[in-house]
Structure 1
Amino acid sequence: MTTAIVYILAAIAEIAGCFSFWAWLRLEKSPVWIAPGMVSLAAFAWLLTRVDSEAAGRAYAAYGAVYICASLSWLWAVEGTRPDRWDTLGAAVCLVGAGIILLGPRSVAV
């Protein structure tokens, strides 16, 4: 599985898991919402271990940009609020940063 696909699936799992808790606590939904949320968050954590990176922190840092973009997509698709130009610009900057973090050349430690 490619890194991009893993990050996209991880973002979906994380947002769905977090939203289940949001629905329970903020939208006063049934506590039953917690169970699928926990499964979703476990899937998110497992998916991040599939990223081809020598360091977990680097994989997590780069994932952050994908999460931001996915959150803005959720904002639009689920909450009905269209991201504005500042949201879009900020997400683009984050994606460029993620690319630098994940794909930048690394020097060999001596």
Structure 2
Amino acid sequence: MPTLLAFALAALAEIAGCFAFWAVVRSGAPALWLLPGAASLLAFAALLTQVEASAAGRAFATYGGVYIAASLLWLWLAEGVRPDRWDLLGGGICLAGAAVILLGPRG
């Protein structure tokens, strides 16, 4: 699986899983939301193992930038809150950092 696809699917799975827990605890959603939430978090963990990286920590660090950008997209599409320029700037900086970690030349 291509790395970018694995990161994108992992981010969707993690955000959806965490949102399910958020909805139960903070928004009063039925406790049954926890079942697909837990399954989504398991899928997240499995997807992250598909990333081409020389070390788990490097994959996780790179994923952090992708997660931040995906969370801003979730904020806009799922929660109806449009990210402001500071959100976008921060997300861009995180993605740039992720690219440096993943693509930087290694000796």
Per the TM superposition, whether the score is higher than 0.5 is yes
Q: Secondary structure at the match of 2:80?
A: coil
Work out which of the two has the higher radius of gyration on C-alpha atoms and give 1 or 2: 1
What is the match of residue 30 of structure 1? 30
1:78 CA displacement: 1.1
Three-state SS of the structure 1 residue aligned to 2:83 is coil
- SS of the counterpart of 1:79? coil
Alignment match, 2:59:
59
TM-score after normalising by structure 2? 0.98
Q: Residue 3 of structure 1 aligns with which residue?
A: 3
What count of residue pairs does the alignment treat as equivalent?
107
Gaps in structure 2 of 5+ consecutive residues: none
CA displacement at 1:10 relative to structure 2: 0.2
Counterpart for residue 99 of structure 1: 99
Name the SS for the 1:29 alignment partner: coil
TM-score normalised over the length of structure 1:
0.95
Q: Deviations over 1:58-96 (max 9, x none)?
A: 000000111011100110111111000111111111111
CA distance in 1, matches of 2:58, 2:48: 11
RMSD over aligned CA atoms reads 0.6
CA distance, structure 1, for counterparts of residue 52 and residue 73 of structure 2: 25
1:71 has 2:74 as partner = no
**How far did 1:43 drift?**
0.3
User: Residues of 2 paired with 1:4 and 1:57: CA distance?
Assistant: 17
**Structure 1: gaps of 5 or more residues:** none
Q: Which runs of 4+ in 1 moved over 4 A?
A: none
Q: Partners of 2:93 and 2:56 in 1: how far apart?
A: 22
CA distance in 2, matches of 1:74, 1:103: 26
Report the alpha carbon displacement of residue 102 of structure 1 after superposing the two structures with TM. Answer: 0.5
What SS does structure 1 have at the residue aligned with 2:22?
helix
